Chains A and B, each alone.
Chain A
Amino acid sequence: MNRLAGIITHFHSVDTMSTVNVNTEIGEFCCVILENPQTATYLKKENKVKLLFKETNFFISKNQIYNFNSFRTIIKDILLADIFVKLAVESNNYFFCVLITKKEFETFDLNLNDEIFVYIKPTNIILEI
């Protein structure tokens, strides 16, 4: 599981669902959670949280497609298996593990030190306190 520390900058709640904006050292992320300030005491502006990303939940691209929840990375390591490929990518001295299928890996023709953009959907980010 990838972890990234950040600070809540904004949130908007409707019923028990909230969108939460979190500022981190590699950019601003938006996530959606089934909580509101009454059900989750950590849901306050300026509170520290960690963003959790599952390794298989990333979308990768050679160019930046999204201007939010996306960050530029450099491929630092590649581990080829039969079905999946494990990438170690670095962004602003943060390392992330990204698992993509071999099909994606071959389609994007990825190599060590290539620049790739990584995107994570707001519904795929878990907050950890």
Chain B
Amino acid sequence: MIEVNVRKELVGYKGNFTLDVNLKIEKGEFLTIFGKSGSGKTTVLRMIAGLLEPDEGIIRFGDKIYFDSSSGINLPPQKRSVGFVFQNYALFPNMTVYENIVYAADKSQLSKVDEILKLVELYDLKARYPSSLSGGQQQRVALVRSIMRNPDILLLDEPLSALDFTIRLKLQDEVKEIHRRYGLTTILVSHDKPEVFKMSEKVVYLEEGKIRKIGTPREVFIEKNLSGKFSFFGTILDIRKSDVFNIVTVDINGNLVEVATVEDLNIGEEVIIGSKAFTPIVKRL
């Protein structure tokens, strides 16, 4: 089990706030830390990896202590068994795909390289340099490199957010397959609800440095406090007056819908659009 119980004073765009996170992750689990920009998601990953020191707390993987402020333990990143994939790939531009991956690998792992390259469809590209690869291909290289040392924990910091929709869906499947096949314990940072829903077994909803909700994606996102089954999260894009109504245009994951309401709402607000499951019609296309 991984225990992360840390506190750190942070400076956010609204001012100072305290990151205060206490969570336990089971070995082999796929957990996502979800939250808006500036909520402290990436900071948690960086503290687990040893790239940032908590003010106080403890981080451990089973019996292995990575950080313990009470006993002064703070292992450097290279002493922690952590794989880290960043949003911006972070590959060596002067090395081929194969060299980028082998650079991070133990000698005992070299036989595994070809197997993983085939799994993520990079085998035929292993002599190529990063600059000649697409964003999706570069991120696959970064992913393979991060697991070459059989890390205790794989940390993914919004690795797919810069990729287009189709490539992102494919890479989500590949990340899940790699997580399953190599029995990894994975922590993903994401602000994309469909991605979180597809990938994770457990979600931590972080807001201004505090855990607001923790549970399965269904518990965190779907089991709202309403019985309406036909309900979606959305963001208000436009409000116009019409007769006694406010006609509200809401973006629901790229689909725009209009709702007539008398509620006083604001553009930019996050809302739940809900209806009884008995109300919508279903029509064959």
A-side residues, CB < 8 A to B, are 1, 31-35, 40, 52, 55-56, 79, 81-86, 97, 99, 123-129
Enumerate chain A residues within 8 angstroms of B279, measured Cβ to Cβ: 123-124
Chain B's interface size range is 10 to 19
User: Which B230-285 residues have C-beta < 8 A from chain A?
Assistant: 243-245, 260-263, 274, 276-279
**Contacting B228 at CB < 8 Å: which of A55, A79, A86, A126?**
A126
Contact B278 A127 (CB under 8 A): no
In the assembled complex, B227 has its CB within 8 A of some CB on chain A: yes
Interface CB pairs A-B, < 8 A, 13: A1-B261, A33-B229, A34-B229, A34-B277, A40-B227, A84-B243, A84-B245, A85-B244, A99-B244, A124-B278, A126-B227, A126-B274, A128-B227
Contact B227 A86 (CB under 8 A): no
Contact B262 A55 (CB under 8 A): yes
| Minimal beta-carbon separation of B253 from chain A (angstroms) | 22
In the assembled complex, B225 has its CB within 8 A of some CB on chain A: yes
B-side residues, CB < 8 A to A, are 223, 225-229, 243-245, 260-263, 274, 276-279
Contact A83 B277 (CB under 8 A): no
Given A52-B226, A83-B243: A123 and B263 interface contact (C-beta under 8 Å): no
Contact A86 B278 (CB under 8 A): no
Contact A124 B244 (CB under 8 A): no
* A73 to B209 CA separation, bound complex (whole angstroms): 48
Enumerate chain A residues within 8 angstroms of B226, measured Cβ to Cβ: 52, 126-129
| Minimal beta-carbon separation of B258 from chain A (angstroms) | 14
Contact A99 B262 (CB under 8 A): yes
* A101 to B262 CA separation, bound complex (whole angstroms): 15
Q: Is the interface of B mostly helix, strand, loop or mixed?
A: loop
Enumerate chain A residues within 8 angstroms of B244, measured Cβ to Cβ: 79, 81, 84-86, 99
Enumerate chain B residues within 8 angstroms of A129, measured Cβ to Cβ: 225-226
8 smallest beta-carbon distances between A and B, as pairs? A127-B227, A123-B278, A33-B227, A81-B243, A81-B244, A129-B225, A84-B244, A86-B244
Residue of B at shortest CB range from A86? B244
Contact A86 B262 (CB under 8 A): yes
Contact A82 B227 (CB under 8 A): no
Contact B225 A128 (CB under 8 A): yes
Enumerate chain A residues within 8 angstroms of B245, measured Cβ to Cβ: 84, 99
Given contacts A34-B277, A52-B226, A127-B226, 20 further A-B contacts (CB under 8 A): A31-B227, A32-B278, A33-B227, A40-B227, A81-B243, A81-B244, A82-B243, A83-B243, A84-B244, A85-B244, A97-B262, A99-B244, A123-B278, A123-B279, A124-B276, A124-B278, A126-B228, A128-B225, A128-B226, A129-B225
* A82 to B274 CA separation, bound complex (whole angstroms): 27
| Minimal beta-carbon separation of B109 from chain A (angstroms) | 45
Enumerate chain A residues within 8 angstroms of B261, measured Cβ to Cβ: 1
Residue of B at shortest CB range from A122? B278
| Minimal beta-carbon separation of A13 from chain B (angstroms) | 13
* A86 to B274 CA separation, bound complex (whole angstroms): 22
| Minimal beta-carbon separation of B5 from chain A (angstroms) | 28
Contact A1 B263 (CB under 8 A): yes
Residue of B at shortest CB range from A56? B260
